[in-house]
Structure 1
Amino acid sequence: MTSRPEATRIRKPPGERRAEIVRTAAGIALAEGLERITLRRIADELGVRPGLIGHYFPAADDLVSEAFTHAATDERESLLPPDEHELPPVERLARFLVRLTDGEYRDLSRLWLNARHLSRFKPGLRSAVTTQESATRTALADLLEEGHRAGDFTTDDALGVALHLLVTIDGLGAYANDDTQLDHPALDDMAITTAERLLDLPEGTLRMRATSPEPTERPIRGRRGARKQPLG
């Protein structure tokens, strides 16, 4: 009688395992909230022992901060994809704002509400939130300044317009947890119409440019795939 050889357990390289842990935690944060991130929960999701998660993240709060950073960065890149950099600035801005009018980004709005609340009590998360706010603000202000130089729209204060738009988007996002909120077209287009007013663009320009059938056009996509039509 021959004995069956023991199954060989494959160890993942430390960098790969750490990235897997952060990705898993970020998915839980988006779907259920940052409070749901625990070492045991991540271990259960990955089918490993909690001690392995603790080896990479001795403090659960560190994993919470990295999970938020990963999710926020991933979502920002889906709103302002690097591979669209060659498109005209007005078209990139249009796509950014129109993507945000789609309820597919409600999880992101909920995550930001969640993170800002918890950051009052978690210094590491507060630092992560501040860093991500700065990155998004800078990316949008740079886009607006580029569009001004290209003659796509008019602004003497790109940072000021970026702040105005982000505060509007955050205001809309404050309703992300309310599934019974008032359903009115003004809410869907508030950030878009605000941008058109501040940048001296004709009404309807941004929605038109977000879906214009040009050779450079790419399907509007987010982390869940193609959009049906071009929240915060």
Structure 2
Amino acid sequence: MTSRPQPTRTRKLPGERRAEIVQTAASIALEEGLERITLRRVADELGVRPGLIGHYFPAADNLVSEAFSHAATQERESLLPRDEHGLPPDERLARFLVRLTDGEYRDLSRLWLNARHVSRFKTGLRAAVSAQESETRTALVDLIEEGRRTGDFTTDDALGAALYILVTVDGLGAYANDDTQVDHPVLEDMAIATAERLLGLTRGTLRTRA
């Protein structure tokens, strides 16, 4: 009786393996929360030994921080995609806000809520949250500044407008875990109406542009 040949396991390049680990951890964070990320859990998902994960991330807290940063970066790139940079500023802002309110980003809202809470106890995650907030804030300020230069927006304070919009979005995101939230149109359009008021746009403009 001849023995069956064992399948050959392909060794991944370090960069590929590290990216795979971070992506897997980010998926766990989105589906179950940052607290569920452990070296063993990620190893089980990938079908490898925990020691392999520990080789790249000796401390689980570092993996938690990178997983959050990865998910938040992907979120920002999907909300403000590079291939839309040629569109008028008001249309890009409209798409950004409508995407945020259409329900598809509920898991990410939960992740942000989760990260802000957990970051109270984890210095690395706190730094990651701060860095991602800064990146998103800068992207929105740049967009508003562009719209101000083209005459689409009438505001003398792009940073103030961006902060107001983002705080409104974050406030709505605070209800991401509440399945009994009051169902009212004002909640769906609150961030959009806020942006229109701050930027001198007629009510309904952004929905139409999107």
TM-score (norm 2): 0.98
Give the corresponding residue for 2:107.
Answer: 107
SS in structure 1 at match of 2:104: helix
Q: Alignment partner of 2:171: what SS?
A: helix
Separation in structure 2 between the aligned mates of residue 108 and residue 17 of structure 1, nearest angstrom:
24
Match of 1:157 in 2: 157
Percent identical residues: 83
Query: AA paired with 1:93?
Result: L
Q: Does 1:74 align with 2:77?
A: no
Paired residue type of 1:48:
V
Alignment pair present for 1:20 and 2:13:
no
Secondary structure at the aligned position of 1:104 is classed as coil
Give the superposition deviation at 1:6. Answer: 3.4
1:2-41 alignment, distance < 5 Å = 2-41=2-41
1:9 deviates by 1.7
CA displacement at 1:2 relative to structure 2: 4.7
Residue number in structure 2 paired with 1:87: 87
* Cα distance in 2 for residues equivalent to 1:30 and 1:128: 16
Which residue type is aligned with residue 179 of structure 1?
A: D
Q: Taking CA–CA contacts closer than 8 Å with sequence separation of 6 or more, which of the two structures ends up with the larger relative contact order?
A: 1
- Give the Cα–Cα distance (whole angstroms) in 1 for the partners of residues 9 and 102 of structure 2: 43
1:3 is displaced (CA, Å) by 4.4
Name the structure 2 match of 1:143: 143
Q: Which residue of 2 aligns with 1:181?
A: 181
How many Å apart are 1:7 and its aligned residue?
A: 2.6
Residues 53-106 of structure 1 deviation map (CA, whole Å, 9 limit, x = unaligned):
111100000000000000000001100001100000000000000111111111
Consecutive unaligned residues in structure 1, runs of 5 or more: 211-232
How many aligned positions are there?
Answer: 210
Equivalent residue number for residue 53 of structure 1: 53
- 1:8 deviation in Å? 1.8
Shift of residue 204, structure 1, vs aligned partner: 0.5
- Provide structure 2 residue ranges, at least 5 long, that are not aligned to the other structure: none
Distance 2:125 2:4 in 1: 49
- The C-alpha deviation readout for 1:134-183, integer Å capped at 9, x for no partner, is 00000000000000001111110000000000000000000000000111
Greater helix proportion: 2
Runs of 4+ displaced beyond 3 Å: 1-6
Q: How much is the aligned-residue C-alpha RMSD, in angstroms? A: 0.9
Q: Give the Cα–Cα distance (whole angstroms) in 1 for the partners of residues 4 and 40 of structure 2.
A: 32
Partners of 2:9 and 2:167 in 1: CA distance: 50
What letter corresponds to residue 106 of structure 1 in structure 2? R
2:18 partner amino acid: R
Could you state the TM-score of these two structures normalised by the residue count of structure 1?
A: 0.89
